[in-house]
A and B are shown apart, each in its own frame.
Chain A
Amino acid sequence: MTVTVEWYIALSVILFTIGAVGVLVRRNAIIIFMCIEMMLNSANLLFVAFARQLGDIDGQVLVFFVIVVAAAEVAVGLALIVTIFRTKRSINIDEINLMKG
C-alpha cells in the first residue's frame, strides 16, 4: 500500500471539512477566524501535493501567494475584531447583529 496523491486529497478534504464545520458551529469570532485559516491551509497542502505529483513548481508559487494573502487578511480581520470589541464588548457573533454601532 503506497502513499498516492489520493491520500493527500483525502487528508486535505478532512481538514477542510473540520474547518468548515468549525466555522458553522462555533460562536467566538476568533475561533471562526482560526478555522478559516485551517481551510486555507488544507488548500495549500493540496497545492503542494499536486506540485509534487505533476512535477510543476507553479503549485508552490501559488502556495506562496496564498500564504501572503492569508497573512494580510488575518491582520485586517483581527483589527476589525478588536474594533468591534471596543464598542460591543463582546465577540460572540450572535450578539453582533446590528449594522450600526
Chain B
Amino acid sequence: MGTPLVFIILAIVAIVAAIMMVTSHNAVHSALWLVLNFSTIAVFYIVLNAPFIAMVQITVYAGAIMVLFLFVIMLLGAEQLRGPGGATGGERIQRFVAGVLGLLLLAAIGLMLFTTEGTGTAVASLPTLDSSPQALGFALFENYVFPFEVTGILLIAAIIGVAVFSLRKTKKRGEQA
C-alpha cells in the first residue's frame, strides 16, 4: 500500500532533525530539533503497533526530559556558547576522524544488511501483537517484576542524588556565614 511512502517520509524527517540537532550552533535550536526527532520516533512506534510506548515516549522523553534540558540550557545561558564553527587545527582533525569512523560504521552495517538474506516479509503484514496497556502490564508484572523493583530503587537513588547535589552549595554558604 502506501507504507513505504509513510516510512520514507518519517525517516527523512527523523534523519534531518538528527543532523540539524548535531550541527546547530544554538543549543536551544538543538533541543527543539531533538524534540522533533523524538516525536517522529513516537509516530514510528504507532506505525509499529506500540501505541502505549508511543505515548510514554511523548510524555516522558519529549515532555519531561527535553523540558529539563531546556531548563538547564536557559539556566546556564548555554545558547551563547560557541558552536561547532571556528575550529582549531586539532579540532579539525578530530572532526575528520569522527566522520571517517561514522562512515565506517555505516558501511559495516550496510554491508551486513545487503549481503545477508532478508526476512522478505513486510512488517505491516505480520500478525499484530497485543500491545494494549493490559498486555504490557501482564508481561511487566509476571516476568519482569524484579527489574521493575530495581528501577524503582534506581529512581529513588537518582532523586536523592539530585537533591544532594543542589543542597551542598547552600549548606556551605550557611557554614561560612
27 contacts between A and B (CB under 8 A): A6-B113, A7-B7, A10-B110, A11-B15, A14-B15, A17-B106, A18-B18, A18-B102, A20-B105, A21-B98, A24-B98, A25-B22, A25-B84, A28-B27, A31-B21, A34-B34, A37-B61, A38-B37, A44-B57, A48-B45, A51-B129, A53-B119, A57-B135, A64-B53, A68-B151, A71-B64, A91-B81
Q: How far is the CA of A60 from the CA of B102 in the complex (A)?
A: 28
If A3-B4, A21-B101, A68-B154 are given as contacts, then 8 extra A-B residue pairs at C-beta distance below 8 Å, sorted by A number, are: A31-B21, A38-B18, A44-B57, A52-B129, A60-B53, A61-B144, A69-B151, A74-B69
Structural contact, B76 and A48, CB atoms closer than 8 A: no
Q: How far is the CA of A82 from the CA of B74 in the complex (A)?
A: 11
Give the number of chain B interface residues (Cβ < 8 Å).
85
**With A13-B105, A38-B18 given, is the CB distance from A75 to B68 under 8 Å?**
yes
Near B by CB (< 8 A), chain A positions 54-101 give: 55-58, 60-61, 63-65, 67-76, 78-83, 85-86, 90-92
Q: How far is the CA of A63 from the CA of B50 in the complex (A)?
A: 11
Interface size class, chain A? 35 or more
Q: Which of B97, B123, B131 contacts A3 (CB 8 A)?
A: B123
Tell me which residues across on chain B come within 8 A of A78, comparing CB atoms: 68-69, 72
Closest to A19 in B: B18
* Interface: B121 (CB within 8 A): yes
- How near does chain A come to B59, taking the closest CB pair, in angstroms? 10
Which positions in B face A, CB cutoff 8 Å? Answer: 3-4, 7, 11, 14-15, 18-19, 21-22, 27, 30-31, 34, 37-38, 41, 44-45, 48-50, 52-53, 56-57, 60-61, 64-65, 68-69, 72-73, 75-76, 78, 81-84, 91, 94-95, 97-99, 101-102, 105-106, 109-110, 113, 118-127, 129-131, 135-136, 139-140, 143-144, 147, 151, 154-155, 157-159, 161-162, 165-166, 169
Q: Which of A6, A33, A65, A81 contacts B118 (CB 8 A)?
A: A6
Structural contact, A21 and B72, CB atoms closer than 8 A: no
Tell me which residues across on chain A come within 8 A of B113, comparing CB atoms: 6, 9-10
Tell me which residues across on chain A come within 8 A of B119, comparing CB atoms: 4-6, 53
Tell me which residues across on chain B come within 8 A of A48, comparing CB atoms: 44-45, 48, 50, 53
